[in-house]
Amino acid sequence: MQPATQVIISMLLACVPAAIWGYIFYKKDPVYKPRAALTFLMGMISVLPILLYKWSWQFFPDINVFTYTDQMTTDLLGFTALLALPLGTVMAFMFVGVIEEYMKHVVVEKTDKGFFRNIDDSIEFAIMAALGFAFIENILYFYYIWASQGAEVLFISFIFRSVFSTFVHILFSGIYGYFYGIAYFADPIWSEEQRKKRHKIIDWMHNILHLRKNRVFATEKVAEGLLIAVVLHALFNILLEMQLTFFMVPFLIFGYSYLAHLFQKKENLKGYGYIVGEDSPAHLHQVIWEKLPRPKLPRRKAGKKKV
């Protein structure tokens, strides 16, 4: 089969998990569709810097971090032959996790500023960025596996990546999106926390020293979300490397349950976006939507009821 045909079919296969998972999570919290589509597109584009970095290895081999991680032979888990896990493997997967999760973070940070109404929106847009990233990644994997190992292995890869690999991207980014949402609305959230807990002396010191603790709080939450996403990403890759695939089903069930829990939290539905500023794009879209004329339904004529 021609390579061009294989690429087209790989693209069509990659559309299946993106459409299914996208529909599942979009229905949980519908967001502004044009901005969601843009976030998905930017998630696709965020793969390009990683591909460029890998392509540059042939010209600048010294920047290939895996050259250095492969030299780390110390076992972290060396109790038995089944649990041998070199330090270099852990470092390599942590590096992969940092790069991929940071690129998705950049997409959410740059494309959706001003469009979040609440924390659920932050989770939703982070998931859209992850779906765009996973879409391109799936195309590359499907084409490579088909070209190198044949159509039989491609079917197995399609099932695994559609169910597990695409979802774990959603899981990592969804959890990060929750923490990013807290950081995004740091001003009102921090104010609420301070009104509940802050002692008068601390309040007085805050006013004297002009400490922007809300900004420190926001930075901490972004870092916390990224750290959790990176660690989970590395853990998933390590489980695959050690061929502990029987952990994938509980990983999937727990992850979906946790994301569903985040969407169901009532605190995440507070309209913080309108507190932050009435000139935000999200607020303007809401105002325009409310002012649009609603179609009038024809009144039913009074008459005898049919028996």
| Length of the chain measured in residues | 307
**Contact indicator for 132, 42 with CB cutoff of 8 Å:** yes
**Contact indicator for 303, 137 with CB cutoff of 8 Å:** no
User: Which residue has better confidence, 258 or 48?
Assistant: 48
User: Residues 22-38: what's their mean pLDDT?
Assistant: 82
Let me know the angle formed at the C-alpha of 186 by 102 and 212, rounded to the nearest 5 degrees. Answer: 105
**Contact indicator for 176, 229 with CB cutoff of 8 Å:** yes
Query: What local confidence, expressed as pLDDT, does residue 206 receive?
Result: 52
pTM of the model: 0.77
The C-alpha atoms of residue 152 and residue 146 are separated, in whole angstroms, by 8
Helix (H) or strand (E) segment spanning residue 76: strand 75-77
Query: What local confidence, expressed as pLDDT, does residue 210 receive?
Result: 46
**Buried/exposed 123-132: b ≥16 CB within 10 Å, e otherwise:** bbbbbbbbbb
Each residue's pLDDT tens digit, 199-247: 555 555 555 544 456 666 778 888 888 988 998 888 888 888 777 777 7
**Buried/exposed 186-209: b ≥16 CB within 10 Å, e otherwise:** bbbbbeeebeeeeeeeeeeeeeee
User: Residues 26-38: what's their mean pLDDT?
Assistant: 80
Each residue's pLDDT tens digit, 164-211: 889 999 999 999 999 998 888 877 666 555 545 555 555 555 555 444
Q: Supply 154's token pair.
A: 């491609």
User: Which residue has better confidence, 115 or 158?
Assistant: 158
Q: Which residues pair with 86 in a beta bridge?
A: 75
227, with CB counted inside 10 A (0-12, 13-18, 19+), is: middle
User: Radius of gyration of the chain from Cα atoms?
Assistant: 24
Ranges 40-44, 58-62, 104-108, 200-204: which has the least confidence: 200-204
The C-alpha atoms of residue 115 and residue 36 are separated, in whole angstroms, by 10
Each residue's pLDDT tens digit, 66-95: 887 777 777 666 555 556 677 777 888 888
